[in-house]
Amino acid sequence: MIKHLKIIEYALSSLLRRKTKIIAIFIAYTLTVATLASVLFLTHALKTEATHILQGVPDLIVQRILGGRHDLIPVDYAEKIKDIFGVSEVKPRYWGYYYDALTEANYTVMGAGDAALELKLLDGKLPATEFECAVGKGVAALRGADYSNELILVNSRNIGVLFDVSGIFQSDSSLLTNDLVLLTNEAVIDFFGFEPGRATDLAVTVQNSNELQTVAVKIKKLFPDARPITKRELTRTYDMVFNWRSGMMLTVFCAAIMALCIMAWDKATGISAEEKLEIGILKAIGWDTDDVLILKFWEGVIVSMTSFLTGLLLSYVHVFYFDAFVLSTILKGWSVLFPAFQLTPSVNVLHIFTMFFLTVVPYIASTVIPTWKTAVTDPESVMRG
């Protein structure tokens, strides 16, 4: 143990003698790890947020398609769908998007249903009358609204409507309710000017999850203009979108990856004359080949682990404390007008181990291998060059 501590001490002093070169390697190494880790951390955090949302999604969502676009669906469809074997419940849902010109942000305006009762409230209660609303934290922060305050929104007839804030949402996922304005179903219909007997979509509950696809096929046969969407399809879509976006970002930053590979290759193909002279002197004064290899091993570990951990720390702070301001616009894919929200810290350990073996291990190997070639050479010939 004492021997290894002395070798580590010497390794630190050796690195300090070459501090200019080591600092350059440290900066390049750290930025590469920070970039890769930021993409992976943000992708995993967004997938985790999406998982929280999809837990409360209906088994089957039925939309109406007109001219290739989502249109309001007749509520009468619910009666025929409910008669399908395996369907236990069908509920119309009323919701839409609202652009707030005052704060330049997009809100989701939704009608209160049984699903909303499962959400936790930070303070207050769900809306009970046509002129009450419950809002998410993002909306409350943007509009300066608090429990018992008032919120003014402009409806489809360009008339300002005054709502009393009856509650403010909290949730395990800030993405779930951050931009939410919850009204009664009747208030949503009047606010957006929906036609009588029309809803945004239908939420279908199926008793046996294995029959979801069968029920979806039957709905499509009954209503050719309907588009049934299962929870599994939504989950797969989220995964594909985030994986594609993260892959695109990793492709964009492939130059950084290649720079790290070139640096490792440069170290593997040989060491500088100064380092060869140092190894020759160490061998001449009695160091064994094993001792020299251990020295270079610890040098590689110190540089690579310091850079790796620093890069991870920077990426963690960047993603979870500064909302990944460099990458969020590309990976989220949402409008920049969306109210800002704080990502819930979520890290995949497998990603960390993968980055470790792809960055730290090659660097250490590229440090030790050329050293072994020099260490087994006669010290006198090494010092003579």
- The b-or-e profile of 187-211 (16+ CB within 10 A means b, else e) is bbbbbbebeeebbbbbbbebeeeeb
Q: Whole-angstrom Cα distance, residue 354 to residue 356?
A: 5
Predicted confidence (pLDDT) per residue in 305-355, tens digit: 999 999 999 999 988 888 777 776 665 554 444 555 667 777 888 888 888
Residues in Cβ contact with 284 at an 8 Å cutoff, skipping those fewer than 6 apart: 379, 380, 383
The mean pLDDT value for 369-378 works out to 66
CA 203-206-209 angle, 5° bins: 120
Predicted confidence (pLDDT) per residue in 276-294, tens digit: 677 777 777 777 778 888 8
**Banded model confidence at residue 230, pLDDT cuts 50, 70, 90:** confident
Among the ranges given (10-24, 122-136, 356-370), the one the predictor scored with the smallest mean pLDDT: 356-370
Predicted confidence (pLDDT) per residue in 73-118, tens digit: 999 999 999 999 989 999 999 999 999 888 888 899 999 865 454 5
**Banded model confidence at residue 261, pLDDT cuts 50, 70, 90:** low
Task: Identify which has the larger pLDDT, 271 or 34.
Answer: 34
Average of per-residue pLDDT values in the chain: 80
DSSP for 77-114, please give it. Answer: HHHHHHTSTTEEEEEEE-EEEEEETTTTEEEEEEE--G
- C-alpha 96, offset from chain centre: 25
- Indicate whether 42 pLDDT > 70: yes
Q: What is the reported pLDDT for 336?
A: 43
Task: Identify which has the larger pLDDT, 193 or 241.
Answer: 193
- Taking every pair of C-alpha atoms in the chain, what is the biggest distance, in angstroms? 96
- Indicate whether 218 pLDDT > 90: yes
Percentage of the chain beyond pLDDT 90 is 28
- Indicate whether 173 pLDDT > 60: no
Q: What predicted TM-score, i.e. pTM, was given to this entire model?
A: 0.67
Q: What is the reported pLDDT for 367?
A: 77
Q: For the chain, what are the domain ranges?
A: 2-53+240-384, 59-230
Task: Identify which has the larger pLDDT, 45 or 338.
Answer: 45
Q: What is the reported pLDDT for 345?
A: 79
